[in-house]
Amino acid sequence: MKKRILSVLVSVAAFSTMIFVPGIDVTASDSEPIMVDGSYLTHEDSSTGNTLSNARGEYLMTGECSISKAGLTRVYSYASTTANYSIDYIMTIGYVEQYHPDVEKWGQVDYYYDDIENTYYLSLDKSVKVDRGYYYRTRANHIVRHNGVYEETASATNGIFLP
């Protein structure tokens, strides 16, 4: 008789557990970050982008850009261009872009540029006021000229989210 009562109690306990304890929902998550025009949409505080190593030229060594959060409604954008040695002319153009989810494209918010002669390095930066609730990235063009020969490459960061 004790075995039968114990068996009924275990059965009732098992049945109650199945009914009253919520099940674990196992679903595939979209942990893969979304990429738009070469930039991932991230929730990082900053991002840096570099030119590809195969973009090096006879005069152009590398280009770099970065973006970081600079407050609730500001981003800090930076871009630089480095030549292999002192050359005739360097120009860097930086663009701050906002991701528009309705059209799934980046749109320009602001830009900045500078150029200089007879050097091997140029860097510039800008603090830009932006709207919250969007992703932002920096994209840059890196241009050099020496002895009448132009070389150009580009770089871009991943998108960072301003909540």
Q: What is the pLDDT of residues 52-77, one digit of tens each?
A: 766 678 999 999 999 999 999 999 99
pLDDT the model gives residue 50: 95
- Whether residue 48 lies inside any domain: the answer is yes
- Whether residue 118 lies inside any domain: the answer is yes
| Residue 25 CB-density burial (10 A; 0-12 exposed, 13-18 middle, 19+ buried) | exposed
Neighbours of 39 (CB within 10 A): 23
Range of the domain at 110: 38-162
Q: How many domains does the chain have?
A: 1
Q: Supply the CATH number for residue 42's domain.
A: 2.60.40
Q: What is the pTM of this model?
A: 0.79
- Whether residue 69 lies inside any domain: the answer is yes
Helix (H, G, I), strand (E, B) or coil at 44: coil
Can you tell me the distance from the alpha carbon of 156 to that of 77, in angstroms, rounded to the nearest whole number?
A: 11
